[in-house]
Amino acid sequence: MKRNTNVELDLKCPDDLTPECMTELWRQAYNGNGSGDNSNASTTTIHRVSITPMNEGVLSRVVTVELGTATSQNDTSCDKRGVVHVKNVPAFTWVAKFQRPSLPQPDMFAVESAFYTRAQFHLDLSSIRIPVAIHCSPHCIILEKIQATKNDNNTTKARIRIEQLVVTMATVHASNWGFQNNHNDNESTRKNELGLSPRAGIGAALNSLEKERTFGKFWSRLVDTLEEEDISGAIDKNRVQMFCQALENQRLRDLHNRVYDQSRKRGIQTFIHGDLHAGNFIWDDDDDDTRPWLVDWATCGPGNPIAELSFFLTVTSIISKEKEEATTMSDEPSLQDMPRVKELIDLYYDTLTSTKSASHSERIQKSLPRNVLDEMLADCLVNQFVILVCYDQVSRQLVQTVLKEDGLDPSKLLRHFDRVNRISLQYMSSPLVQDHFQYPSAKSPAEIKEQATWWQQQGTDGTTTGSFQI
């Protein structure tokens, strides 16, 4: 249901969420749209606002906002000091996310606002549920809080329901196949005006030359973290080193072009979430609607669906069904169960090519035959590894700085980075990459010299950066 989210309020931090401000937002959001407890929106007054940090998110500051409401004078009382109290009225909860002044990300807030206010209504997202937006602005997004709690237990539940997540991803991809592609001029113009990311996905903003320059200098840092007790024979460290040494001398701009540009020209493009992993799915078992909720749309837009699949396979824990049934631990495993990964790839492709009508499925199969998926998945897994190498040091610095500002311990998130890096290295030594990846062409001597000169001019070891762009 559409809400009026265009209230002109300059909300930049949690302190701006005053009862007067929340009352105005409530009335504008629900007036004429309410039902049940929200049906008296025009007479509702917010008398109490309780804000609690959610300890979610690094790039933005996220809080829960509990609202004490009253719909008439009978719901309130005034004590001798003139203080208004709400009488036994149920509280409602919203979630607010703000830009961090120390880490401005205006493009991400603009994209997420555009998704909630415009784009979602032009897409087929019937296989998922989306939170209701109360307010969207350049500095703040406020949503209705989903009743299910997004915590470790919910993440474990999502891992156990991994097949449903893969089917959901493939269904969204199939339902929006050709997004911003193969449309007539008028349709293409309308789609481009939706305000989504022009190149969706975490790391997609890295240009090809940045990848070439950074990968060659820093890939060894990730490989050197591999210890015998970490890999237990699941990763061939020598093979990974040889692979990275060979890749260092290749034109990664060609790989970048294969993942982002050639795929689009071949008709392999759809609407993607851009940050799709188990932690962004939320489940509500008390609801008859079994579809998962999907949140965090800050990097969504047109993109390569196989790049999204490779991201999902890298950052989401995939363990054997036997281990899922035998454990209740919330700690994530260090490595993926490769036989199950292959099963999930098959499930993704089968769903992608059978979800819609026969003609639609034929169109997808024509642009993405199964052998092409295998080749493109290898490209995308390698591209994902390159992105991790490029972002590793700055991401760690960012997490330690930001979470310490919030008084939080960054160790858990840093361990998550280590786990994701190991999984990506696992893929580099696996048949998924080794059997299907085609090396780009080698760099010319002039290109190698140019890269060395560029690093000399930077005067940095690459562990710091003046900006952080997703």
Tell me how far CA of residue 7 lies from CA of 26, 67, 130, in angstroms: 10, 18, 21
**pLDDT in tens for each of the 470 residues of the chain?**
455 555 567 888 899 998 888 888 888 888 755 444 455 666 778 888 888 888 777 788 898 898 886 554 444 555 555 544 544 445 688 999 998 887 878 889 999 999 999 999 999 999 999 999 999 988 999 999 887 644 445 555 555 688 999 999 999 999 999 987 333 444 444 445 788 988 899 888 888 888 888 898 889 888 887 765 455 567 888 888 999 999 988 889 999 999 999 999 899 999 999 999 988 998 877 777 888 999 999 999 999 999 999 999 999 888 776 666 554 444 556 788 899 999 999 999 999 999 888 888 899 999 999 999 999 999 999 999 999 999 998 888 888 888 777 777 888 888 888 889 999 999 999 999 999 999 988 888 888 888 888 777 776 554 444 444 56
Residues 142 and 98: their CA atoms lie apart, in Å, by: 9
Tell me how far CA of residue 223 lies from CA of 169, 239, 377, in angstroms: 31, 11, 21
Tell me 261's DSSP state: I
CB-based contacts of 394: which residues, under 8 Å, 6+ apart? Answer: 463, 464, 465, 468
CB-based contacts of 46: which residues, under 8 Å, 6+ apart? Answer: 19, 20, 22, 23, 26, 67, 68, 69
Residues 225 and 134: their CA atoms lie apart, in Å, by: 44
188, 190, 195, 201: CA torsion to nearest 10: -30
Residues 135 and 144: their CA atoms lie apart, in Å, by: 10
Find out whether 421 and 336 touch, Cβ atoms under 8 Å: no
Backbone angles phi, psi at 94, to 5 degrees: -115, 170
The Cβ of residue 173 has, within 10 Å, a number of other Cβ atoms equal to 25
Closest CA to 306 of 414, 426, 432, 140: 432
Residues 470 and 460: their CA atoms lie apart, in Å, by: 21
The Cβ of residue 76 has, within 10 Å, a number of other Cβ atoms equal to 16
